[in-house]
A and B are shown apart, each in its own frame.
Chain A
Amino acid sequence: MKIGFLVLMTPYTYQNIDTAIALSEAALDKGHECQIYLYMDGVIAASSQIKPGNDRHIGDKLQKLIARGVQVIPCSVCCNYRGMLKDQTAENIKQSGLAALGRMVDNFDRVITLGA
């Protein structure tokens, strides 16, 4: 099964991206395919500038998912609104427009919204 996650809220303040990561890991373990579309404040999780000290490193967790074939896509307009430049986006992550969300809805079997 192909499972898409739409993540709306900012990392560290909300647990949405942690939930998407944990569910993706579990789904991959069972042979499913996953994609994460970051929307609204959710795009902050794609920043290369995340430095959480001793806390869990969401950027590193996303890179591990990407290495397992998960596409992580931050909304480009949301990034612009929040001053997140393209060169501040973490490696292997490319900003994209709403068409990418549309394709995820169109091509995936399930889409789970993780919001406030």
Chain B
Amino acid sequence: MAPKKVAIVVSKPPYGTAFMGEGFRAAMGLPAVGLETSVVLEGDAVFALLKDANPKENLDMESLAQAFASFEDFGFDLYVHGPSVRDRGLSCKELIACQPLEDCEFKMMLRDQDAILRF
């Protein structure tokens, strides 16, 4: 039987709340039980992937960009919502990882999932 597909969709900005960090922790845990796991960052969540952010020095918090940089080792796929990146004046060059989904691709991807967890 094919593994179930689960998408973790994060819409909240990093660091101001625990949503992003806990979404990341869930993304680390779910592949371990055989789930085909994808993470999509949309809205202000795309700021989590900024290469130049330095939350350790400024907030005494671990860098989520560095954490997400190891997404392949944790066994999940990582996407960003392309329009969210552009709307914030960002480009893929400024992000530590960037596999953009346009609106229609995002919609089709969500339709293909067995479960969607929102953070």
Residues of A within 8 A of B (CB): 6, 8, 39-40, 77-78, 97-99, 101-103, 105-106, 110-111, 113, 115-116
CB within 8 Å for A111 and B26 given contacts A40-B18, A99-B32, A102-B32: no
Question: In the assembly, what is the distance between CA of A8 and CA of B26, in Å?
Answer: 12
Residues in A neighbouring B119, C-beta threshold 8 A: 8, 113, 115
Question: In the assembly, what is the distance between CA of A39 and CA of B8, in Å?
Answer: 14
Q: How many residues of B contact A (CB 8 A)?
A: 21
Query: CB distance A105 to B30 under 8 Å?
Result: yes
The one of B26, B34, B115, B116 that contacts A98, using a Cβ cutoff of 8 Å:
B26
Question: In the assembly, what is the distance between CA of A39 and CA of B17, in Å?
Answer: 14
Question: In the assembly, what is the distance between CA of A40 and CA of B118, in Å?
Answer: 13
Return 18 A-B CB contacts under 8 Å, by A number.
A8-B119, A40-B22, A77-B25, A98-B25, A98-B29, A98-B30, A101-B29, A102-B30, A102-B33, A102-B34, A103-B33, A105-B35, A105-B114, A106-B34, A113-B116, A113-B118, A115-B118, A116-B17
Query: CB distance A115 to B25 under 8 Å?
Result: no
B1-37 to A contact mask, C-beta < 8 Å, 1/0: 0001010000000000111001001101110111100
Q: In the complex, which residue of chain B has the Cβ closest to the Cβ of A114?
A: B118
Residues of B within 8 A of A (CB): 4, 6, 17-19, 22, 25-26, 28-30, 32-35, 114-119
